[in-house]
Structure formats: C-alpha cells, structure tokens
C-alpha cells in the first residue's frame, strides 16, 4: 500500500520536489523486475507538464529509449487510495499512468537535454537538473570518495534498463572532454552566433567568464605563466584542455545549450552545472580509462 501522493519523506529528498511533480512511495525495492532503490516513483505526465512538453511526445520519446525497461504503470485510482495495494504493470500500458523510479530522474534529464526535444519551460528543466544532482548524491554517486562503491551504486541504479544508463552518462562526459568534440561544438556555436548577427568575441567572452570565472585573456595569460608551448595557448579553450579540463567540459555544456536555446544566462547556468557534475565524476575515478 503506497502512501498518499506528495507525502513527505526523510528517506530521500522528496521535500525538495516542486509541488507540481506527483510522486508515490512504495514499500518494495523490486517491483515486477524494476529496481526502485529510493522507494519513490515519479509520475511521468507530471514531469512532462512541469517542463512544458506534451505528455504524449514525452512518453513517446521515453518509450523508444532504454528507460522503457524502468517504467511502472498503474491506474491512478489505485494511487489515490485502495485497501488492496497497487497492481503495477511494467512498461507503458494504454490507459494507465506511467511512473519512473526517483533515482532514474537524473539520467532522464541528462538524456532529454541531448534529445533535441524542446521544453516550454527550459528553466524548469534546469531546476530538475539541480534536483537530479541532489538525487545522484543520495544514491552515492561522486560523493562517496570510493570508486568501487560509486560504480556499484551506479550499477544498481541502472539495473534492468537494458543498456546501463550510468555508462551513457559517463560516455557523454568522456565525449565532452575530447578535443575533437569540443572543437566541433565550438564551430557549431560560432555558426549559431554569426547567424544571429552577433559579435562572436563578445558572446563567447561572456560565456567564458560566466562559466569559468576567467576572461579569455586570463586563460591565455595563464598558459604563458605555465609556459605551455605556443600552439597550446593560442586560444582559451586550448589552455583549458591542458590546465582545467572541467572548465573545457563546462564550456561544451554551455555552448550546446546556447546552440539549442540562445539565451546566455541559461547557457552559463548549464555550463556551471555540467562543470560541477564532471568534477564529481572525475573525483571518484568514474571517467578514468
């Protein structure tokens, strides 16, 4: 028998969820083969409505992903109260409301932001991303200081998803730290800015200062101070790759955001979040070869 929707809990930081997000607490970790480590299930329609995307489009996208294996559905009347427990069904079922384990929400947000789908309220996607970081901490990722433990926790979170979602997240960050991908993204970003008729130097300078707390010239001067070879300090990004990889990754996140949605303030925020997440993954060795 689950607790009422939106009841408080000390087991996971559910009290931090926006009130529009509907959730239910369950009493078993394994429900029809789906691992619900947090004992909390989140309503997918409420997430879609919160971030401003049609529920059918959001669910259709999710149904084509590996997240499908982590979906549990039931009729809403059972959630609102029944003496006989909830008859959960695995997967998406017509006429039933789909839910996802709370600990899978971070991975969904990461994948959604890379999907090309447009949210009506991008700032709310960022809010859920912040919440996702908190959730990742709750399940032991990147704060345990122990690579083996962090990997074990990630494996449990991704269990039953077909393709390990944790590996997908790690794969994204490994890709973002490569020079080839950074150069490609920067070219796309440059093209976007020029298409807008804006000054590339001004836009990239604002993004760089906002995400890294250093100006473009600061980075070049830093390269000189560390006596990097001339070819490795021709641009601020080359210096970042040599001296501060997390800043380089943060810039990729910022540029990717700007390419999809050219709002500098939101792009800076995304870049900072990506940088912070990368640093935590790096700290526990999950990005090491």
For 149-160, write each residue's pLDDT tens digit: 555 555 554 443
DSSP state of 233: S
Measuring CA to CA, how many Å separate 259 from each of 15, 59, 187, 255, 274? Answer: 34, 25, 10, 6, 16
Give the Cα separation of 82 and 219 in Å (integer). 62
Angle between helices 179-195 and 245-260 (to 10 degrees): 40
The pLDDT value given to residue 132: 58
Give the three-state DSSP class for 84. coil
**Which pLDDT value is given to residue 174?**
82
Written as six digits, the tokens of 97 are: 């409301």
pLDDT at 289: 61
Residue 85 has a pLDDT of 60
- What is residue 211's predicted lDDT score, i.e. its pLDDT? 96
Look up residue 211 and give its two tokens: 């995400």
Contact (CB, 8 A) for 207 and 247: no
End-to-end CA distance of the chain: 44
Largest Cα separation within the chain, whole Å, is 73
Phi, psi of 2 (to 5 degrees): -75, 160
pLDDT value at residue 150:
52
The token duo for 45 is 């329609």
Residue holding tokens 């962090």?
Answer: 150
pTM of full prediction above 0.85: no
* pLDDT for 166: 53
What is d(CA 209, CA 246) in angstroms, rounded to the nearest whole number? 14
Q: How far apart are CA 178 and CA 173, in angstroms?
A: 9
Task: Give the DSSP letter string of 4-58.
Answer: PTT---SSS-GGGS-TTS-EEE-S-SEETTEE-TTSEEEEHHHHHHHHT--HHHH
Q: Rounded to an integer, what distance in angstroms lies between the CA atom of residue 133 and that of residue 37?
A: 16
Full DSSP string of 85-148: ----EES--TTSEEEEEGGGHHHHHHHHHTS----S-HHHHHHHHHHHHHHHHHTTTTTSS-HH
- C-alpha distances in angstroms, 205 versus 40, 176, 199? 43, 20, 10
With H, G, I as helix, E, B as strand and everything else as coil, classify residue 166. helix
Which stretches in the chain have pLDDT values below 50?
1-13, 15, 82-83, 135, 138-146, 157-165
Angstrom CA distances, 85 to 75, 76, 138, stand at 12, 12, 27
- Nearest Cα neighbor of 99 from 114, 81, 117, 79 is 79
- Please report the pLDDT score of residue 253 as a whole number: 87
């Amino acid at each position: 028998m689950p607790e009422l929707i939106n009841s408080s809990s000390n087991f996971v930081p559910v009290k931090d969820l926006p009130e529009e997000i509907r959730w239910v607490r369950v009493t078993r970790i394994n429900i029809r083969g789906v691992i619900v480590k947090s004992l909390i299930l989140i309503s997918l329609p409420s997430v879609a409505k919160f971030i401003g995307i049609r529920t059918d489009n959001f669910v259709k996208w999710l149904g084509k992903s590996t997240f499908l294996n982590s979906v549990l559905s039931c009729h809403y009347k059972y959630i609102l109260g029944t003496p006989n427990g909830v008859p959960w069904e695995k997967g998406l079922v017509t006429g039933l409301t789909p839910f996802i384990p709370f600990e899978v929400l971070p991975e969904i947000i990461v994948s959604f932001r890379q999907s090309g789908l447009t949210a009506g309220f991008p700032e709310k996607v960022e809010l859920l991303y912040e919440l996702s970081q908190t959730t990742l901490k709750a399940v032991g990722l990147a704060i345990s200081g122990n690579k083996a433990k962090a990997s074990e926790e990630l494996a449990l979170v991704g269990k039953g998803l077909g393709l390990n979602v944790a590996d997908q997240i790690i794969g994204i960050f490994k890709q973002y730290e490569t020079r080839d991908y950074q150069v490609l993204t920067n070219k796309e970003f440059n093209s976007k800015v020029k298409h807008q008729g804006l000054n590339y130097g001004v836009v990239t300078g604002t993004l760089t200062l906002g995400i890294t707390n250093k100006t473009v010239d600061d980075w070049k001067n830093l390269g000189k101070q560390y006596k990097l070879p001339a070819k490795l300090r021709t641009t601020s990004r080359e210096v970042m790759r040599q001296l501060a990889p997390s800043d380089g990754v943060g810039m990729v996140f910022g540029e990717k955001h700007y390419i999809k949605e050219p709002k500098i303030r939101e792009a800076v925020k995304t870049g900072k979040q990506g940088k912070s997440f990368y640093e935590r993954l790096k700290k526990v060795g999950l990005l090491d070869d």
